[in-house]
Amino acid sequence: MISRLILLSFLVSGIAAAQELPPSRPAPGGIAVVSLGNSAAVPIATFNGQRVMVLPCDNGWCAMVGIGLEVKPGQQTVSVKRGNERAAATFTVKPKQYEVQRLTIKDKGQVNLSPEDLKRYERDKEAITRAFTTWTQIDPQLHLALPVAGRLSSPFGLQRYFNGEPRAPHSGIDIAAAEGTPIRAPAAGTVIEVGNYFFNGNTVFLDHGQGLITMYNHMKRITVKSGTHVETGETIGEVGKTGRVTGPHLHWGVSLNNNRVDPLLLLSPDALAALTVKH
100-277 belongs to which CATH class? mainly beta
Domain with CATH 2.70.70.10 in the chain: 100-277
Q: What is the pLDDT along the chain (279 residues), one digit of tens a residue?
A: 333 333 333 334 433 444 799 999 999 999 999 999 999 899 999 999 999 999 999 889 999 999 999 999 999 999 999 989 999 999 999 999 998 877 666 665 556 678 888 899 899 999 999 999 999 999 999 999 999 998 999 999 998 777 677 778 899 999 999 999 999 999 999 999 999 999 999 999 999 999 999 999 999 999 999 999 999 999 999 999 999 888 999 999 999 999 999 999 999 998 988 886 444
> Distance (Å, rounded) from C-alpha 171 to C-alpha 263?
9
CATH architecture of the domain covering 16-93 = Sandwich (2.60)
pLDDT value at position 276? 61
Q: Nearest to residue 170, comparing CAs of 247, 249, 253, 111?
A: 253
Q: Nearest to residue 147, comparing CAs of 225, 70, 212, 232?
A: 232
Domain with CATH 2.60.40.1590 in the chain: 16-93
